[in-house]
Amino acid sequence: MRPEHTHVPALPPSPHADGNCRAVASVLARVGDKWSVLVIMMLIDGPVRFNELKRMIGGISQRMLTLTLRGLERDGLVTRTIFPTIPPRVDYELTDLGRGLAQPVQALGKWAFEHLPEIEGARTSFDARNGQG
């Protein structure tokens, strides 16, 4: 086998491409992360306590949930409210910005669910053709 299409033409430079691409990439890295997507989906209906979120999102460690929530809070997508009870109660809720993101995230999740059989079939075919699996 020989590799084909080895010549890839370069795109003309854009005056803002480098800075804009990096900025957008950092945002997409946050909102495209699987745990962030799941957290956003779990918060769509309103505030949720930390331990409840952990139960709702199977397979996420306490540390990963903490890091994910902290990142979402840093990006202005989630707020954290601490109630002065014993023990302290902490609720997480989407901000207006986060609620704006919830709709596309939900649409993406719905699309993935609806097309999962096709995607799994394509993966199986690809793996069979390429001697994998």
Q: For 56-109, how does the pLDDT look when each residue is reduced to its tens digit (9 = 90+)?
A: 998 999 999 999 999 999 999 999 999 999 988 899 999 999 999 988 888 888
Q: What's the rounded Cα separation, in Å, for the pair 8 and 83?
A: 57
Which pLDDT score, from 0 to 100, does residue 33 have?
82
Instruction: Indicate the number of domains in the chain.
Output: 1
| Domain containing residue 77 | 19-129
Contacts of 60 (CB under 8 A, 6+ apart): 35, 38, 54, 68
CATH for 119? 1.10.10.10
Distance of CA 110 to the CA centre of its chain: 14
pLDDT, greater one: 53 or 9: 53
Residue 8 lies in a domain: no
Q: Is the pLDDT of residue 133 over 70?
A: no
pLDDT band at residue 10 under the 50/70/90 scheme: low
Cβ proximity of 106 and 44 under 8 Å:
yes
- Residue 6's Cα: distance from chain center in Å? 33
